[in-house]
Structure 1
Amino acid sequence: MISFNRFFIAAIGSLLLYILSVVILGRRKQTRTIDQQKIPLSELAGIWAESKRTGQIHIKDIAPLWRKSTITEEERSAYLFKYSRTHQWFQKNISDQPWFNQAEAHTEICYQLLRMLEEEDPCPSVVNPSNDVEASWNTNTYNMLGKTSLLDHSLHVAEQTVALLIDIKAHHVIPDAMVAALGHDIGKLPTNRTHLYSLGEHPLAAGRVLAEIKLFGEISRKEEISKAIKHHHMRPEGLIGKTLKKADQKARQQELEEAVNLQKQGGEPGEVPAHKSGFLPAPENSLARQADIDIYGGDEKSRSKNNNSSRAINQINISSWFESKAFLDELKPYINRLEGRRFMAFSMPGGHVYFQPKVIEKVTRKLAEKAGAMDIATMADKDKSMQNVLFSVVEQFRSGNDMIARDLINDQYFGGYFTIKMQSGKTMKGYFTPFKAEAFGSIAELENNKKGILKNFVSVDVYQS
């Protein structure tokens, strides 16, 4: 009887222990579950819905939460550079920027790419194996752009990339795009000139170098970055790819303009660099014109037709989104506005305001998007159809509102080349659309807003070739 009681008591005790352990484990599991579910999906959906109404929260602001790229202390370099200018650039464009706060792996990859570029500097930024895209460039283009080192060109492309993404408020893409920008031409370095390079495939060679960086294989957008680099001289897809190609072209144009300006002026101290003045190289400079063709593609015949010659251009119906007063209101803030020494539009006492076509295009896209005309708002950069749109806009101001200086440009075009004479006697040339100043109010008020280089403009004349 005693044995049975002991057995019964032991059984009851075991059962109680089992029940107690189940309860404890259940509570621990519940605690862990509660800790993990910081924000339920329903609440997150509510945040996104609210953002559409208030504009205070955007998916790009929380995207880094699931794309965070952390590294261990062992994987982090000391960030020591060969050149002080590279160190300063790294600090300004990467270390001190908030979009790299959650992108430690990207920061490390960028550092490694910069060190590769530094170690083999000076290395020219152009290559010439027989099958490479740059092999088709004119000899003068090759020589002019060869004056820029690969390190400097990579920094230029990175700067243009960041500027383009900031302009469209795509800050969350910058870490990935920066890797693409700094690595897009890394295959040109002498130590990376392998079999792929000899075949004229410097983008493929660059992809191989990136693939050998251990951290690169761990970031979420590595495939998109690789494709962007591979296709940056072709027809890229996706935001990173399209941004990289455009940034590369803009950087090359900047480098070209600097080379042309130094060639033309002999590198005289105190000259205004062409890319900072807002002007393209002088149209009479055949070398610069050919280099522009090499950078953006096309041929001499087609490019010349896109200037003031017998090109075919058609007026289209823009009535669904165009309204002259709204357009003028958007154009006015650009007049006599300086960003450093760059400008997009300027007035002259004679009663005219000269706009770069790029300003008209920017306003066109903005107003078209606002009106829902997305076929125009999202038109690809360099799409030739945009010429028809710009012509149609200018024609509305020319024929319908009499706001274009018709004595300065041919009625068949939306702009023309002009020569600007400076107080120093030097001249600069650019392509502009001339408006009558009265469309923007008082010419005296516009002139009073001039500052810097704009105050040195003496006269503007139609360019005579």
Structure 2
Amino acid sequence: MKLTPLVILEVFLLVFFASIYLYASLSRGKSREDERFEVALEKLSKLWTEGEVHGAEVVPPVASRTLPAFNSKELNEFYKNHLAPYVETALYSATMGPALDVIIKVLVILDTDGDCPSVVDAAGDPEADAYGSSYGLLKKVTLREHSIHVAEEAVRIISGRYKEPEMLLGRVLIVALAHDLGKIPRFRSGPAYVLGNHPAISAAVLEPLVTDLPGKEEVLKAVRDHHSATSSDPLIRILNEADRRAREREVGMLAGASALVPRGSFSWL
């Protein structure tokens, strides 16, 4: 075919307008995608509680989402290491989605009230006489520090035992971080808590935070019964082992390497 000036002009115009159309289409798609990325975390949480979420589904990455900032350096580090990857890459499982909102609320409580000792000596509390000579050392560990240690140990446990630990991660982090909230003084001051049973108080503090959480009864039971040495509940067993490991780790750090506590010293946990 002979390329006349008219044919060349038609080809040029066709390519020109096709390029404009393609550019406009890509720009509109990018704009809509950017708009989705700007949705606030509070609005996304409605999706977790109001709609059904399937494990195979993922939410697009949200690089612009504002992450919570805590006063505590330890909590910021914990969030960065164990929660931020799920927020930034949006790898939400069926449980991690709704659990994340609960975890953040528990972290806020630990941020504001977690400076108290991680051990209690109230009459009627299952830990009142249990630590013996280690009590003085463990009193130096704050509740915030202990809760983080338990959560870290729990993550290690499920990572080493389960093929898909992320399916348990949300519930495990909730019970690990919230299991000792009942040791916070302001939650122990009411007449209803005169017996000083911190597991029961912890469950009572956690209950209004898990209203929309799937499997909330299992989570509350794990917190309420976490000092039950004979329980066969998998969540309680994970929490008990993580609690024991954390205590051995804490005594070891405080007492020095030459006085590391033998594994099993807190087997009652």
TM band (smaller chain): 0.5 to 0.7
- In the alignment, residue 73 of structure 2 is paired with which amino acid? S
Q: Give the distance between the partners of 1:201 and 1:99, measured in 2 at CA.
A: 38
How far off is 1:67 after superposition?
10
- In the alignment, residue 113 of structure 1 is paired with which amino acid? V
Question: Relative to structure 1, is the Cα distance of residues 85 and 100 closer, same or farther in structure 2, using a 3 angstrom cutoff?
Answer: farther
1:230-309 correspondence runs (5 A) = 230-234=224-228, 235-261=230-256, 274=257, 281=260, 293=265, 295-297=266-268
- In the alignment, residue 197 of structure 2 is paired with which amino acid? E
Question: Relative to structure 1, is the Cα distance of residues 163 and 142 closer, same or farther in structure 2, using a 3 angstrom cutoff?
Answer: same
Q: Give the distance between the partners of 2:202 and 2:56, measured in 1 at CA.
A: 24
Unpaired stretches in structure 1, ≥5 consecutive residues = 1-63, 71-75, 262-273, 282-287, 299-465
Alignment length (residue pairs): 204
SS of the residue aligned with 1:133? coil
SS of the residue aligned with 1:249? helix
Normalising by structure 1, we get a TM-score of 0.40
Question: Relative to structure 1, is the Cα distance of residues 67 and 135 closer, same or farther in structure 2, using a 3 angstrom cutoff?
Answer: farther
How far off is 1:95 after superposition?
1.8
Which residue, out of 79, 87, 90, partners 1:90?
79
Which residue, out of 120, 127, 136, partners 1:134?
127
Q: Does 1:152 align with 2:145?
A: yes
Q: Does 1:124 align with 2:117?
A: yes
Q: Does 1:189 align with 2:184?
A: yes
- In the alignment, residue 70 of structure 2 is paired with which amino acid? F
Question: Relative to structure 1, is the Cα distance of residues 84 and 145 closer, same or farther in structure 2, using a 3 angstrom cutoff?
Answer: closer
1:58-457 correspondence runs (5 A) = 65=54, 79-97=68-86, 101-102=92-93, 103-169=96-162, 170-171=164-165, 172-193=167-188, 194-195=190-191, 197-213=193-209, 216-234=210-228, 235-261=230-256, 274=257, 281=260, 293=265, 295-297=266-268
Q: Give the distance between the partners of 1:217 and 1:206, measured in 2 at CA.
A: 15
Q: Give the distance between the partners of 1:100 and 1:107, measured in 2 at CA.
A: 12
How far off is 1:101 after superposition?
2.0
* CA displacement 1:5-31 (0-9 Å, x = unmatched): xxxxxxxxxxxxxxxxxxxxxxxxxxx
Unpaired stretches in structure 2, ≥5 consecutive residues = 1-52, 60-64
- In the alignment, residue 141 of structure 2 is paired with which amino acid? T
Question: Relative to structure 1, is the Cα distance of residues 236 and 167 closer, same or farther in structure 2, using a 3 angstrom cutoff?
Answer: same
Q: Give the distance between the partners of 1:67 and 1:201, measured in 2 at CA.
A: 40
Question: Relative to structure 1, is the Cα distance of residues 236 and 228 closer, same or farther in structure 2, using a 3 angstrom cutoff?
Answer: farther
Q: Give the distance between the partners of 2:198 and 2:75, measured in 1 at CA.
A: 24
Say if 1:100 and 1:107, in contact at 8 Å, map to a contact too.
Answer: no
Q: Give the distance between the partners of 2:217 and 2:169, measured in 1 at CA.
A: 16
Say if 2:114 and 2:143, in contact at 8 Å, map to a contact too.
Answer: yes
Report which structure shows greater RCO (CA 8 Å, sep ≥6): 2
**Structure whose alpha-carbon radius of gyration is higher:** 1
Q: Give the distance between the partners of 1:140 and 1:197, measured in 2 at CA.
A: 27
Q: Give the distance between the partners of 2:80 and 2:254, measured in 1 at CA.
A: 28
SS of the residue aligned with 1:200? coil
How far off is 1:111 after superposition?
1.1
Task: Give the number of the structure whose residues are more often strand, by fraction.
Answer: 1
Q: Give the distance between the partners of 2:77 and 2:85, measured in 1 at CA.
A: 10
Normalising by structure 2, we get a TM-score of 0.67
* CA displacement 1:415-446 (0-9 Å, x = unmatched): xxxxxxxxxxxxxxxxxxxxxxxxxxxxxxxx
Alignment correspondent of 1:404 = none
Task: Give the number of the structure whose residues are more often helix, by fraction.
Answer: 2
Question: Relative to structure 1, is the Cα distance of residues 130 and 117 closer, same or farther in structure 2, using a 3 angstrom cutoff?
Answer: same
